[in-house]
Amino acid sequence: MKPAIELRSAVKRFGGVTAVDNVSLTIGDGEFFSLLGPSGCGKTTTLRMIAGFEFPDAGDILLHGTSIGTTPPHQRRVNTVFQSYALFPHMTVAGNIGFGLEMQRIAPTERERRVREALELVRLADYGERWPRQLSGGQQQRVALARALINRPEVLLLDEPLGALDQKLRKEMQLELKRMQERVGITFIFVTHDQEEALSMSDRIAVMHHGRVLQIGTPTAIYERPNCRFVADFIGDTNFLDGRITASHAGHAVITTDDGLVITGASDRSLTIGSTATVSLRPEKARLTIDVPPGDIANCFATTVDRVDYIGSDTRMLVRIGSERTVSVWEQNNRSTLDRDAYWQPGEAGYLWWPAENGLVLAE
């Protein structure tokens, strides 16, 4: 089976700005694939090139092995769910959903039947005769989805489709979208700047920045093994402990910071001694205890607690090592108690520690 979508060194420039810079991607059939990045990173332009609203200045795009780089959008078997939904305000919900079939000159009886099916698929069976303006944001979103899916596209493109919804509805729609994708088995390419959304829904994620793809991987790989500082920083929260490499063995590297901390972290490649590097330590991957931890722990530092933020599920603390350095560490509140002593207080002393594999060494 040919991949659903393949981008080969695709480039798109607007004036002097390179929006998409030499992007190559292979997206498998039936995959839920996310393009994730901050605004202006080129993710939407990439999607628009796949849809056909923009043509690449260089490189090519293949849909199931066929080049579509210069095919106009109406001749691509690809459909889009727009951020603003872009429902036709002068057509009913049924009219909107049936538009694609109408363009394909499908007979009205067949069209009606399929529109009814599509309405049922998005649980809006009784809404066919309504006007788009009479629907809530979530309902409009489902109409936009039905309008795209009814054409049985080879690939469905979704441009921040949940961006306009409130938090609760957004969560619901995330689940619904994911279920829908599993049901119809169509390849979804999903553009978002919301990392949590991308992590929870995707089979694979491409993290983009300044028009380039920095990393492609499963949600776990992207979160647990970011390949550069930007990805580590953009996905989730992390502490960066900057320094120079002082030792490098198989699977591990040691870096020494300017304030003299010696930190051992995981590294999948050998790094040049003396080169600058950073250790990315996620706040939930370090522990804070009153006593020195038992056993041989690679990284253990005496600290004082600087700040405590209780947020319900977690307690988020800023702890100080030495005079200058602060590190963020989160502790899960897995006991239910009102006892003040069960929680850390500012000014308390303790030990911050984590095993070597919990910190990731990233070369600069």
Partner 1 sequence: MAIGGITAAGARSGARRRLAMLLAPGLFWLIAFFAIPLVVVLAYSVAVPGPTGRVEWRFTLENYQRLFGETLYVSAYVRSLWVGLLTTLICLVAGYPLALFIVRQPPAWRAALLFLILIPFWTNFLVRTYAWMIILSNNGIVNTAIQSLGLPRQILYPGEGAVLVGLVYGQLPFMVLPLVAALDRFDFTLMEAAADLGASRRRAFWRIMLPLTAPGIAAGSVLVFIPTVGQFVVSDLLGGAKVDFLGNLLQRLFTRSNPPNWPLGSAMAVIFMVVLTVAIVAYFRATAEERR
**Is 67 one of the binding residues for partner 1 (CB under 8 A)?**
no
Write down the least CB distance from residue 226 to partner 1, Å. 34
Nearest to 155 by CA among 218, 247, 217, 63: 63
**Is 73 one of the binding residues for partner 1 (CB under 8 A)?**
yes
Selected from 79, 248, 257, 358, the binder of partner 1 by CB under 8 A is 79
C-alpha to C-alpha distance for 2 and 148, rounded to whole angstroms: 23
C-alpha to C-alpha distance for 360 and 210, rounded to whole angstroms: 24
> Which residue(s) pair with 263 in the sheet?
255
Selected from 24, 70, 84, 270, the binder of partner 1 by CB under 8 A is 84
H helical segments located in the chain: 43-51, 93-103, 108-121, 137-149, 167-184, 195-201, 219-224, 229-234
**Is 103 one of the binding residues for partner 1 (CB under 8 A)?**
yes
Nearest to 284 by CA among 324, 328, 323, 326: 328
C-alpha to C-alpha distance for 52 and 71, rounded to whole angstroms: 7
Selected from 2, 66, 67, 72, the binder of partner 1 by CB under 8 A is 72
Which residue, 15 or 312, is less far from partner 1 as judged by CB?
15
C-alpha to C-alpha distance for 137 and 139, rounded to whole angstroms: 5
Please identify, among the stretches 97-105, 118-126, 267-275, 356-364, the one whose residues bind partner 1 according to the rule CB under 8 A: 97-105
Residues 288 and 352: beta-carbon distance below 8 Å: yes
**Is 90 one of the binding residues for partner 1 (CB under 8 A)?**
yes
Which residue, 162 or 362, is less far from partner 1 as judged by CB?
162
Which residue, 81 or 277, is less far from partner 1 as judged by CB?
81
Write down the least CB distance from residue 83 to partner 1, Å. 9
Q: How many CB atoms lie within 10 A of CB 120?
A: 11
Please identify, among the stretches 85-93, 115-123, 160-168, 192-200, the one whose residues bind partner 1 according to the rule CB under 8 A: 85-93
C-alpha to C-alpha distance for 265 and 116, rounded to whole angstroms: 57
Please identify, among the stretches 1-9, 145-153, 211-219, 346-354, the one whose residues bind partner 1 according to the rule CB under 8 A: 145-153
Selected from 29, 55, 82, 343, the binder of partner 1 by CB under 8 A is 82
Binding site for partner 1 (CB under 8 A): 51-53, 72-74, 78-80, 82, 84, 86-90, 99-100, 103-104, 147-148, 151
